[in-house]
Chains A and B, each alone.
Chain A
């Protein structure tokens, strides 16, 4: 096993690494499988994760294979004890996962849509995140949760949120946001092997994207960001799908002769202050792109750290490109207007650099 804390991206042509081009969703499932093979105490809970049961034999059917088919095939391999289909009782099974983690297992919970976090939030906030601290370090809560976030699929107000800061705000909970197949493999493995509760937020828009994934067993160190592209005119900071948006914006900016550096944060709690400061000290301009609503957001938090620790290096105020302070609308046009688009990033950079 290797720990990746390299700060440059892995990608096609990355020297000396064997690997292949894979889909995000397949890598996600393969990583779950690998972690379950690696450790008998790892098991999965969630609604429809084994996708139906035969009326007569009572055997799982795997008809759905989990939300977005994330766990397809796993119940045949591991059986219903370890791919544990749960009734619609988020508060109950997240709480049960905390209890199982306190007593020696390593539960992984599929919460389906990010918006359902709030149904289980008390268990997450008051039990998962605080047990170690308030019991004086006697215990650990080695559990992992994951859920799909993000607008763009016509799921409307109650199935489209990206309230990352609602999780990152909680002391005791770690938060990671993969942005491609490479990072989901390394971050999911690291989350499951970590002894603290870790929440992996998975933007729906990433699920069918493909990318280069090394064959080797590796974890990505929690709390590390990475450079997706080097440049010296402006730093674009992305997280989850907005890292893809930043890369698209960087291509458009290159056409206009602007050389953008793109950072993918990968972890939101803890997060990589060093990479932010290092890049800003070089480019002197920074735009943070976050699909979350702007108030008390990760974008605001990153901006605060940069203002605090790299103020003298800034040529312009820190800019944030975010969603509006609104719920996510249903209508496609409105939904597109809600989400930060590459064009919004490009416009912000041009304004900032006075290059209209």
Chain B
């Protein structure tokens, strides 16, 4: 698949932005500046990047507790994301959602979701809207979820629905080998999760999720199918999270060093750099200038977040409903 120069630059920018956002976010978390639990996605840059490279703001994605990468690949503003994690009024959700609930409806981002599996049918619903309005060609639904989430009944119901109704959905399963400490070989009864697609009458494709070019190609085909009205596709993107399950988790307790090394050698960013410079598609200088601008962006994002005000206490009561006749404050 031919990839334009602009697209290549976008991919590198996006992957590096995800990597540095997670590292910066973790630094801030350990400094005590985050207000809650964070689940970093460094190592898993290729899946959101390779998939979202084909999407516009009119396409929708559903995400997970490990959602920063999805947000960034869908074009969310890292300043507002950092501010959200720090619980600020300027945060993407006004400080009310936090790391596990970042959403931007203007960018086609249906929200990170802390209930494992819960966002999967939302992407099916977005695809239903598209089909209903006759705009499948410009609006598909992509659901990102993990190997662990593949054990939830709602995935299976969603796959069947999408297939029965022939909806423009991409089930993008990021198999990083673990759900918390539980390995996928223990909890998933199939060698490849993608093999389950067969039973629901849709193509299932196993993809190297450490290689953004492979993800880009497989996602391109799936999204083209969806836009052409040919229905859903299941992609299993085999990837790896470098960090623990959440900010304070030590993965060495349940993963072996050789396994971690194996994936670090196949690092999505390093391999991208090697490939594009080797094939003279991008210069080392260009790569560096992208990295430099992201470094600055991260510094700015942290500064913006730290200097932003906290939400007013009234925010506790606002936006529970669109309208409601008798708002109920805490009974005191």
Contacts and interface: CB of A to CB of B under 8 A. Distances in A.
A171 interface: no
Contacts, number: 169
A295 B183 CA distance: 41
A276 B326 CA distance: 30
B181 A61 contact: yes
A116 B115 contact: yes
Nearest to B146: A88
Contact of B313 (A119, A319, A333): A333
Interface stretch (A149-157, A234-242, A249-257): A149-157
A53 interface: yes
Nearest to B311: A331
A154 B331 contact: no
B317 interface: yes
A159 B317 contact: no
Contacts of B187: 85-88
A158 B35 contact: no
A132 B308 CA distance: 56
A100 interface: no
A158 B317 CA distance: 17
A63 interface: yes
Interface string A298-319: 0100000000000000000001
Nearest to B93: A330
A326 B182 contact: no
B330 A63 contact: no
B306 to A, nearest CB: 14
Interface in A35-50: 47-48
A294 interface: yes
Interface residues of A, number: 51
Interface string A317-343: 001111111110111111001101000
- Residue from A325, A340, A347 whose CB has the most chain B CB atoms within 10 Å: A325
Contact of B113 (A91, A158, A332): A158
B254 A51 contact: yes
Contacts of A90: 152
Contacts of A86: 187
Contacts of A55: 183, 185, 256, 259
B98 A330 contact: yes
A121 to B, nearest CB: 13
Given A55-B259, A329-B316, A338-B316, A156 B331 contact: no
Given A158-B113, A321-B332, A48 B36 contact: no
B311 A333 contact: yes
B327 to A, nearest CB: 7
Interface string A83-118: 001111111100000000000000000000001100
A344 interface: yes
Given A324-B329, A334-B315, A337-B313, A53 B95 contact: no
A52 interface: yes
Given A61-B254, A158-B115, A334 B331 contact: no
Contacts of B330: 294, 321-324, 337-338, 340, 344
B253 interface: yes
B229 interface: no
A156 B313 contact: no
B3 interface: no
A61 B253 contact: yes
- Residue from A51, A52, A319 whose CB has the most chain B CB atoms within 10 Å: A52
B98 A154 contact: yes
A333 to B, nearest CB: 6
Contacts of A115: 114-115
Interface in B131-184: 148-149, 151-153, 179-183
A86 B327 CA distance: 41
Contact of B180 (A64, A153, A159): A64
Contacts of B153: 89, 91-92
A348 interface: yes
Interface string A47-78: 11001110100000101100000000000000
A239 B283 CA distance: 64
A158 B102 CA distance: 13
Contact of B95 (A155, A157, A325, A331): A331
Contact of A332 (B87, B114, B148, B183): B87
A331 B35 contact: yes
A226 B316 CA distance: 33
B136 to A, nearest CB: 30
Contacts of B100: 155-156, 158-159
Interface string B30-63: 0000111100000000000000000000000000
19 contacts: A47-B182, A51-B181, A52-B253, A53-B254, A86-B187, A155-B114, A157-B97, A294-B330, A299-B331, A323-B330, A325-B320, A329-B316, A330-B84, A331-B315, A333-B310, A334-B95, A337-B330, A338-B330, A340-B330
Given A55-B259, A63-B254, 11 more contacts: A86-B187, A89-B151, A92-B151, A157-B114, A159-B100, A320-B331, A321-B331, A334-B313, A337-B313, A337-B330, A340-B330
Interface of B: 34-37, 84, 87-88, 93, 95-98, 100-101, 113-118, 148-149, 151-153, 179-183, 185-188, 253-254, 256, 259, 310-311, 313, 315-317, 320, 327-332
